[in-house]
Homo-oligomer: A and B are copies of this chain.
Amino acid sequence: MDHSDMPQRDWQLSERARKLTSSAIREILKVTERPEVISFAGGLPAPATFPAERIREATNRVLREAPAAALQYSATEGFLPLREWVAARVSTSNATIRPSQVLITTGSQQALDLLGKVLIDPASPILVETPTYLGALQAFSLYEPHCVQVPTDDHGLVPQSLTPMLTQGARLLYAQPNFQNPTGRRLPLERRVALAEFARASKFPVIEDDPYGALDYAGSPLPTMLSMAPDHIVYCGTFSKVLAPGLRLGYIVAPEDLHFKLVQAKQATDLHTPTLTQRIVHEVVKDGYLDEQIPAVRALYRDQCEAMLAALARHMPDGVSWNRPEGGMFIWVTLPAGIDTMALLEHAVAANVAFVPGAPFFAGDPQHHTLRLSFVTVPPARIDEGVARLAALIRERI
């Protein structure tokens, strides 16, 4: 049937649905599926890091040893041994996290959806970094908040800017302290201490979203804010970057009273995360496998990051600047003011190279001359060629 035959219905949609727009990332990913495009757009982890054989073996054990339990409905909170593993993993000598604080989610995107459900009313203020993770803006947007941008500098969020005037009435503060998406910035220790102190004094939770914490190239992680204020921080983690994103497995660590509300919301939303994938991941990680896996992922991404930094230094004209990430998956590039990276993208895709324009990562007042580069999907050999193509287009515009 031809789509033009479709009756065009005037469905009465909800306010939130009418405001929904597709993300720039999503539209770009469609274009960049063509193999000739060198795409620095997607944040797709390198498939070479997926432990497919280990996952296959784990699945065989799970389905041989506990087939009925692995395929049955299960508790909304998640598989208890996996919750215990998470609690032990995020605990430190200063802060013991209890399994009763852990909720397993369908990827950490769902963690953001559940937090929005439980904390945000229409028009309630929420605090976000400048810029912030686009996926968080999308998740929270369904609950129609008023986003307030917290000032940042090259080291990330500036705690002194959290004045009573700025934070009044806020329902949450959302931050990615480790190798933030999109900027790659890591929040320094003294700012973590200040932000944890802020969380302790606040009437609303500080959300520490930490998908990239394990990916610090030097293997010298800074302490989490969760470890500094375990009863006041909501911590979100994921297996997407250290195992495989297609498993859609993440978790929220929250104070018990908030945890309880998140569990109720998750029950209404999807009952529980798939039992099978939870048991597979527990089987893979329970004996310390991540201690082998994570250093290998770090080393690969460090090399790819170095390759991209070298290419940027080699090809980019004067007036273009970027940061040197100490971990994670992204480099943030600032062009001379006046170059709109959304317009640049169209020419870039025509030249078979892609990136994500910076504007959609801002809750307001976008910096149109910024862009995000991911170095984890493209092999090092093609990174130089892709950066060269992009630099040529930028040079034309300076």
Complex alpha-carbon distance, A68 and B47, angstroms: 5
Please give the distance in Å from A3's CB to the nearest CB on chain B.
Answer: 7
A94 neighbours in B (Cβ, 8 Å): none
* A121: contacting residue among B1, B15, B119, B273, CB under 8 A: B15
A268 to B23, CA, bound (A): 9
Interface 9-mer from A137-145, A220-228, A310-318: A137-145
Minimum CB–CB distance for A148 against chain B, Å: 15
Among B72, B204, B247, B274, which residue has its beta carbon within 8 angstroms of that of A106? B274
Chain multiplicity (copies): 2
Evaluate contact between B56 and A246: CB separation under 8 angstroms.
no
- Could you say which of A189-197, A259-267, A329-337 contacts chain B? A259-267
A7 on interface, CB distance cutoff 8 Å: yes
Contact with B along A241-269 (1 / 0, CB 8 A): 00011111100000111100100110111
Contacts of A50 in B (CB 8 A): 67-68, 71-72
Collect the chain B residues with CB atoms within 8 Å of residue A55's CB: 63, 71
A209 interface residue per 8 A CB criterion? no
Instruction: Tell me which residues across on chain B come within 8 A of A247, comparing CB atoms.
Output: 71, 274-276
**Does A308 sit within 8 A of B, measured CB to CB?**
no
Please give, as numbers and ranges, the residues of chain B lying within 8 Å of A12 by CB-CB distance.
Answer: 119, 171, 203-204
Contact A141-B248, Cβ < 8 Å, known A67-B52, A205-B11, A231-B7? no
Given the complex of chains A and B, what is the CA–CA distance between A355 and B109 in angstroms?
Answer: 36
Contact mask for chain A residues 97-115; partner B; CB cutoff 8 A; 1 contact, 0 none:
0100000001101100100
Smallest CB-CB separation from A44: which chain B residue? B73
Residue of B nearest to A68 (CB): B47
Bound together, the chains give a CA A194 to CA B63 distance in angstroms of 46
**Which B residues lie within 8 Å of A64 (CB)?**
56
A180 to B373, CA, bound (A): 51
- A339 partner residues in chain B, CB cutoff 8 A: none
A118 CB within 8 Å of chain B:
yes
Min CB distance A125 to B, Å, is 11
Q: Which of A3, A14, A26, A63: most chain B CB closer than 10 A? A: A14
CB within 8 A of A119: which of B13, B20, B42, B98? Answer: B13
Which residues of the partner chain B approach A98 to less than 8 Å between Cβ atoms?
A: 1
Q: Give the chain B neighbours of A59 by CB distance below 8 A.
A: 56, 59-60, 63
| Apart from the given pairs A12-B204, A50-B71, A72-B244, 19 other A-B contacts in the complex at a CB distance below 8 Å | A7-B255, A11-B261, A12-B119, A15-B121, A20-B261, A50-B68, A52-B68, A52-B70, A56-B63, A69-B246, A72-B246, A74-B246, A106-B106, A106-B274, A113-B270, A138-B268, A139-B269, A248-B270, A277-B277
12 CB contacts below 8 A, A to B, read: A17-B264, A20-B261, A20-B264, A20-B268, A21-B264, A44-B72, A50-B68, A72-B245, A73-B246, A141-B268, A142-B265, A247-B275
